[in-house]
Structure 1
Amino acid sequence: MRNQGEFRDRDTNRARELRNAATPAGPFYADFLCRELMLIVELDGFSHDVQPERDIYRDRYLVEHGYRVLHFTNAEVLGNVEGVATAIIRALADWPTPNPSRKREGGI
């Protein structure tokens, strides 16, 4: 069992293989992904300023496939990580869970 704090080298060859053989529903890489909540958090830096139309297309595609996408600038994360975490928590509270529990959704 691997220690949570233990560093592991990235398998860039495997990442390259996966990128080149992406499934039709997986042509994009997310900065952070929680599959259970169908949530993607994107950190927008310089590359997002260069091709904003690509971001619009990507977000639309991901939403159509059931994902929720949140964007934060690198400056927000570096300068106000607590605020970013709070914004994520608030956004999650406003969305129904993908596997709603009867108790949370008002059922028995």
Structure 2
Amino acid sequence: MSKPSEQLAFARELRKNQTEAERFLWTRLRNQRLAGVKFRRQQPIGPYIVDFVSFESKVVIEIDGGQHNEQDALDRDTERTNYLEGRGYRVLRFWNNAVLTNIGGTLEKIRESL
């Protein structure tokens, strides 16, 4: 993204077009439903737009589909994680399928990181 305004517009578009797993998790994170912590969805942090973030807890949650299992995507994810961790964020990654089939375990791992 070349301009912050373009990045914000893209983030808004991503919020409108969440994956099934992102929507499913968002219903459990929104309105401080998890441990009273405020999460935001599809938020810009530097050059990246993260799926979910708690700025107060410095926790980023990324929901990954099958395309993240390819080498190019793994390399980009590593670069992204390094960038975020370098700014003090803890990055949690979950597969789409794990969110959809084990929401309790997913929420527990998130809760433990807060």
State the TM-score, normalizing by the size of structure 1: 0.61
CA positional deviation for 1:90: 1.6
1:42-74: CA deviation from partner (whole Å, max 9, x where unpaired): 101123123100000100011001111001100
CA positional deviation for 1:89: 1.0
Q: Is the 8 A contact 2:11 2:49 kept in 1?
A: no
1:75 to 88, 91, 97: 97
2:48 to 17, 25, 28: 28
What is the aligned residue count? 76
Q: Whole-Å Cα distance in 2 between the matches of residues 30 and 73 of structure 1?
A: 15
> Could you say what secondary structure the match of 2:94 adopts?
strand
Q: Whole-Å Cα distance in 1 between the matches of residues 68 and 47 of structure 2?
A: 17
Instruction: Note closer, same or farther for the CA distance 1:14–1:41 as it changes in structure 2 (3 Å cut).
Output: closer
1:15 aligns with 2:9: yes
Aligned Cα root-mean-square deviation (Å) = 2.6
Larger Rg: 1
Any gaps of 5 or more consecutive residues in structure 1? 1-11, 93-108
Any gaps of 5 or more consecutive residues in structure 2? 1-5, 13-43
Q: Whole-Å Cα distance in 1 between the matches of residues 61 and 8 of structure 2?
A: 23
Amino acid at match of 2:56: E
Q: Whole-Å Cα distance in 2 between the matches of residues 69 and 30 of structure 1?
A: 10
Which aligned pairs between 1:14-93 and structure 2 lie closer than 5 A?
14-16=8-10, 26-50=46-70, 51-92=73-114
State the TM-score, normalizing by the size of structure 2: 0.58
